[in-house]
Chains A and B, each alone.
Chain A
Amino acid sequence: MIRLDGVTKRFAGGAVALDGVTLEVARGEVFGIIGRSGAGKSTLIRMLNGLERPSSGQVLVDGADVATLDEAALRTLRRRVGMIFQQFGLLGSRTVADNVAFPLKVAGMAARDRAVRVAELLARVGLSDHGAKYPAQLSGGQKQRVGIARALATGPDILLCDEATSALDPETTRDVLALIADLNRDLGLTIVLITHEMDVVRQVCDRVAVLHAGRVVEQGAVADIFLDPQAAETRALLAEAGEQGPADFAEFAGRVVRWTCHGDTIGQPVLTMVARETGADFAILDGRIGRLRDERYGQLTLGLSGGDTDAAIAALGRYGRVSA
């Protein structure tokens, strides 16, 4: 659906925002791009609807090279790619309904059809009673819902989310992310979101790319990145989100392994079963149990001593993945 191939962006003055970024987003998935401020996320997401153009490399959206499109073709593309923003970007001089109608008006839809579509969209985001209000009268979460309704107005296949929840409190963030996940499921929207928060990635993304200083340092399924991060930058981001404790258990006398399991395994008495079977003792050194999008996961750092530790590790491997 979307493919970036060796995309580099150099700004006048020599600053390099993106440096050879290659990645692919499949139809219908939620793809996250995470990185600190200054990593190049904003520049990257703006390449996808031609708000920024690459200095070199290709940006393909549905097979079309965005950088080579003329103004008219770019406008057509933009009606198929919705975008929402951290600061919402609503028109303060227009009502909620007029904000949602704006892209339809720009696209030349007749006033009567617009009214029907706007009512539909406002219902979709749960703001049916707020059409006559002005943006200044809404809460942050409501403003972002207006932004989402507006982004969906022209019936796009792709939704770009530029730090869409960074200005919201944690509870509102959860609501807005839930709405984004619903849209992905119900409408089959392909969603690309950028964020600096691991929690956002954990709640809605299928796959994620970690961007650092303009380069993709790691990408893959969210579960892999979360549970088995390779790049130092990814580990640092996870540590900041409180997702991983200090990983140094050198003082522990026995063997230390990390055991990761998914889904139904959580809820089974795996440790005690393995302990009875092999006579090994377990110390739990570190651990977390949580949810990645809709799937539950657990990851424990275990210290093994006594009994048959090799057999115990093999037994654990039947229920999950064991790594050093």
Chain B
Amino acid sequence: MSGWFVDIVWADIAQACLDTLAMLGGSLVLTILFGLPLGIALFLTSPGQVWANRLGNGALALAVNLLRSVPFIILLIVMIPATILLVGTSLGVAGAIPPLVVGAAPFFARLVETALRGVDRNTVEAVRAMGATTRDLVWRALLPEAMPGIVAAATVTAVALVSFTAMAGVVGAGGLGDLAIRFGYQRFQTDVMVVTVALLLLLVQGIQSLGDWLVRRLVRG
């Protein structure tokens, strides 16, 4: 090493950035797509709600808890056969997305459930008392009322996904985390480590600021 930052292949860094963003974007969209209905179902089947159902709620909670208790690094490996079945490969960005979604969706679902629980009980009762269908209750009352909380939940989930993508590097997913491990750690290129960590920091800051700004815009009065 003749000096800092001299040996960095910037094209690799750029590619890693794109990979990380692709993994993050793809998995975040799918996590919301699967996690949101799951969170709504967890809430609606809980005691006192419109679909109150001890058995159904228990089954959903068990599935969510099981998935959440598997460490992500283990989930990555356990899911390899299922991932190959789903997307044809367990490598690269595509191979990383299924485990990322399976790891993050239950987490996001719990956060959504908590956000829905924060909606005033009287408001839910008032909407039911005016003769609304369950669909109206969910789409026109619960989700709009809980939207700041749900956006905050998506922000937290996106930040968690950034660190998951770094781990996904272990199974050959690529991305900034993978770069940090292969060059920064295994080849002692401290400068690569510094650059990737700085980029990850920027990414997380950006996500958090965007999320906070959205939440502020959504809160009324």
A contact residues vs B (CB 8 Å cutoff)? 46, 49, 51, 71, 74-79, 81-83, 85-94, 102-103, 105-107, 133-137, 147, 150-151, 153-154, 160
Contacts and interface: CB of A to CB of B under 8 A. Distances in A.
Interface stretch (B68-76, B88-96, B133-141, B196-204): B133-141
Nearest to B54: A12
Nearest to B129: A83
Q: Interface centre among A78, A81, A106, A137, by most B CB within 10 Å?
A: A106
B176 to A, nearest CB: 37
Interface stretch (B7-15, B16-24, B117-125, B167-175): B117-125
A10 to B, nearest CB: 16
B151 interface: no
B144 interface: yes
Contacts of B136: 106
Given A75-B133, A82-B130, A154-B130, 17 more contacts: A49-B129, A71-B133, A77-B131, A78-B128, A78-B129, A83-B126, A87-B120, A89-B126, A89-B127, A91-B123, A92-B120, A93-B144, A93-B218, A93-B220, A102-B141, A106-B131, A147-B126
Contacts of A82: 129-130
B61 to A, nearest CB: 18
26 contacts: A49-B129, A51-B129, A74-B131, A75-B133, A76-B131, A77-B131, A83-B125, A85-B126, A87-B122, A88-B122, A89-B127, A90-B123, A90-B126, A91-B123, A92-B120, A92-B220, A93-B144, A93-B147, A93-B218, A102-B130, A106-B132, A106-B136, A134-B221, A136-B220, A137-B221, A154-B130
B113 interface: no
Contact of A91 (B121, B128, B129, B144): B144
B-side interface size class: 20 to 34
4 smallest CB-CB distances across A and B, nearest first, come from A136-B221, A89-B126, A89-B122, A78-B131
A89 B120 contact: yes
A276 B140 CA distance: 73
A85 B122 contact: yes
B123 A106 contact: no
Grouping DSSP codes into helix (H, G, I), strand (E, B) and loop, the B interface class, with mixed when no group exceeds half, is helix
A6 B172 CA distance: 70
A103 B131 contact: yes
B145 interface: yes
Contacts of B124: 89
Given A75-B133, A85-B122, A94-B144, A134 B127 contact: no
B125 to A, nearest CB: 6
B220 A134 contact: yes
A160 to B, nearest CB: 8
Interface in B204-221: 218, 220-221
Contacts of A103: 130-132
A231 B129 CA distance: 33
A78 B221 CA distance: 30
A92 to B, nearest CB: 6
B140 A102 contact: yes
B123 A79 contact: no
A303 B139 CA distance: 68
A165 B39 CA distance: 35
Nearest to A94: B144
B130 A135 contact: no
Q: Interface centre among A82, A92, A154, by most B CB within 10 Å?
A: A92
Contacts of B121: 87
Contacts of B144: 91, 93-94
Given A76-B131, A78-B130, A93-B145, A85 B125 contact: yes
Nearest to B126: A89
